[in-house]
Amino acid sequence: MADRFDISQRKKDHLALCAGPNVAFRDKSTLLEEVELVHCALPEMHADEVDSTTPLLGKTLAAPVIVAAMTGGTDIAAKINQDLARAADELGLGFGLGSQRAMFERPQTAWTFQVREAAPNVLLLGNLGMMQAATMSTAQIQDLCGQVGADALCIHLNPAMEIVQPGGDRDFRGGLEVMARLVEELTIPIVAKETGCGLSRAMGERVMEAGVRTVDTSGAGGTSWVAVEEHRAVDPDWKAVAGELWDWGIPTAASVLQLQGLGLDIIATGGVRTGLDAARAVALGATAAGMAAQVLKAHKAGGYEGAKQFLQRVVMTVRSVMLVTGCRTVAEFRRAPKILGPRLGAWRPEASPPP
């Protein structure tokens, strides 16, 4: 029987499960379907005039799209990372690595995270769990980022996933202090990133106090990482708890809405499946939208070319939606008229009861 506590086995499990059909949220959606954009019948511009370029973390994306964090630490992960980073680079998009914990604990796996040769210009996001960062010195983390040439480091927050994971973390104290230290001492920016359960406005305010200026929602409605761990669980009690928490979290669109107006750059990930989903997230206020599972599935079906073709269609859709809403720039697009459905509207900060 495979060792569920082994980190390489965990990464293999995650890849296999995320490419499969039974890890989605059951009854909770992203609520992106409740973002209705108002059609502009006279855009008064040529399609080529649409400017989808987007500044983020010191680089400029050709479109507000990122291939979100997925994997690393196994042989198969190396090929996936290199192919997807290369596709993102060629299209002018961003790319996120999976957790570099494996790379730190098992330096022999470091090569599986190396994508710079294949993607020399891509906006590259490193990735490390909060609890791992808490046990490491700033110099160790800086070295981890330097080895892959990361432009920024995502510190991922995943208490719901960890609490049900075989061998998962149990002590979540001191996270804000860790973030503040890394913001102060690292030479690259920090991104506060959830892992499938979304970020609230209160959490956005707290990480801002620590000096963070970019967040990744990783909201509910796409892959449920609690569900992934439910499939991996060996203890029947924790398997039952994971089953009850399968749909836990703040929907992705709700998280973007909650974080509006704080002055944060928002990367909207979590269940972003199509170009229209990405466009809705950006129109709602995200700086960029991130996609993971659908890109992985496109790669599984068609390799590098399949993934690149899928991402090209996403960009085409985003640009097309900008045109038919009469928006020349992404900044204009975020101000485009929109109608929010009642479930999403209930998440507006002003609609929430005081704490």
Half-sphere exposure of 133 (CA within 13 A, CB side): 31
The CATH architecture that domain 14-351 belongs to is Alpha-Beta Barrel (3.20)
At residue 20 the predicted structure's pLDDT band, cuts being 50, 70 and 90, is low
Q: pLDDT at residue 252 above 90?
A: yes
Q: How far apart are CA 13 and CA 16, in angstroms?
A: 5
CA-closest candidate to residue 252, choices 222, 229, 212: 222
Per-residue pLDDT reduced to its tens digit, 96-138: 999 999 999 999 999 999 999 999 999 999 999 999 999 999 9
Residue 77 and residue 106 in contact, taking contact as beta carbons nearer than 8 Å: no
Identify the DSSP state of 354: P
Q: How far apart are CA 294 and CA 271, in angstroms?
A: 9
Q: What pLDDT, on the 0 to 100 scale, is given for residue 294?
A: 94
Q: DSSP string spanning 3-15?
A: -TT-HHHHHHHHH
Per-residue pLDDT reduced to its tens digit, 143-171: 999 999 999 999 999 999 999 988 888 88
Q: What are the extents of the domains in the chain?
A: 14-351
Q: Is 346 helix (H, G, I), strand (E, B) or coil?
A: coil
Residue 331 and residue 283 in contact, taking contact as beta carbons nearer than 8 Å: no
Per-residue pLDDT reduced to its tens digit, 161-205: 999 988 888 889 999 999 999 999 999 999 999 999 999 999 999
Is the Cα torsion angle 8, 150, 319, 91 positive or negative in sign? Answer: negative
Helix (H), strand (E) at residue 268 = strand 265-268
Angle of CA points 332, 336, 339, to nearest 5°: 160
Q: pLDDT at residue 355 above 80?
A: no
What one-letter code names the amino acid at 62?
Answer: A
Q: pLDDT at residue 54 above 90?
A: yes
